[in-house]
Amino acid sequence: MANAVLDFSGSRVLVTGGTAGIGLGIAEAFRDCGATVIVCGRNEPDGLQSGRLRQLEFRRCDVRQSQQCHALVEGIARDHGGLDVLVNNAGGSPEVDSATCSPTLIEKVIQLNLTSAFFMSQAAHAVMKGQAGGGSIINISSVSAVRSSPRTAAYGAAKAGLLNLTESLAMEWGPQRIRVNALIVGLVATENSLEHYGGAQGVERVGAMLPLLRMGTPKDVADGCLYLASPLAAYVSGAKIEVHGGGEKPVFLDLAKIARDSPGS
């Protein structure tokens, strides 16, 4: 059912990495608001015609390859008449020792989390610049971009670069009515992240440490995307909006409390 306020009927939306996790939540939100939604990935997911992927159009693309990005967007523009919204969501990184991780891994992490967004944005720009309404590009960054990112240093550096890219493209492409914004996403519980946080109980424990007493959901991130792509954000470009529930509590506060409450302190 289309949202009464944010109606994207007739809009064409591309979400990279949109077949699972946060990306799927974003794709579903735009679909439920009436948009034609295309998701992409290197491999076709199971269950395209059923379940949560229903009514989403899948196209194969390795977003780390510039030629594939341009071919993808050109195909969407040809088949659907244009592209209104691009969400650069594809990303991620394994945890590794920064002192010994391989150059190949570093390059791949930066390609997936930064270079791919540049390639996709270039491809979208080629289409959006000729549209009367321009377009909206939304980059999904991370709190790792604005704080230390131990054991995922390349990821944090790439996501920090994505924030600068957001500001730079917003400045360059604003005259062509293309708005470029970013979400700085905090801790989000997804089906794939439960193991990382120690299952449902771990998610609850971590969430209790955050100001809003819960971890984020894909819907929280999706709602931020809906806002940035909507007319409500018509004068918002180059913005970096934090979607992190108030931020992570400094650990020294708890350590200080433990010290104060300890016998003999």
**Scanning the structure block, which residue is given the tokens 């990184």?**
93
Residues 240, 135: Cα–Cα separation, whole Å: 17
Catalytic residue list contains 235: no
What is d(CA 41, CA 48) in angstroms, rounded to the nearest whole number?
A: 12
Q: How far apart are CA 179 and CA 134, in angstroms?
A: 8
Assigned token pair, 189: 């519980």
57: nearest Cα among 31, 83, 88: 31
Retrieve residue 165's tokens: 């890219």
Tokens 């905090």, located at residue = 186
- To the nearest 10°, report the CA torsion of 238, 175, 36, 183: 0
SS3 content of the chain, % helix, strand, coil (to 5): 45, 15, 40
Looking at residue 215, its amino acid is M
**33 CB neighbour count, 10 Å cutoff:** 23
Instruction: Please list, residue by residue across 175-205, b when 16 or more beta carbons sit within 10 angstroms of its beta carbon and e when fewer do.
Output: eebbbbbbbbbbbbbbeeeeeebeeeebbee
Q: Which of 155, 197, 227, 235 is catalytic?
A: 155
Strands (E), the chain: 12-16, 36-41, 57-60, 85-88, 135-142, 178-185, 240-243
Q: Which residues are tagged catalytic? A: 155
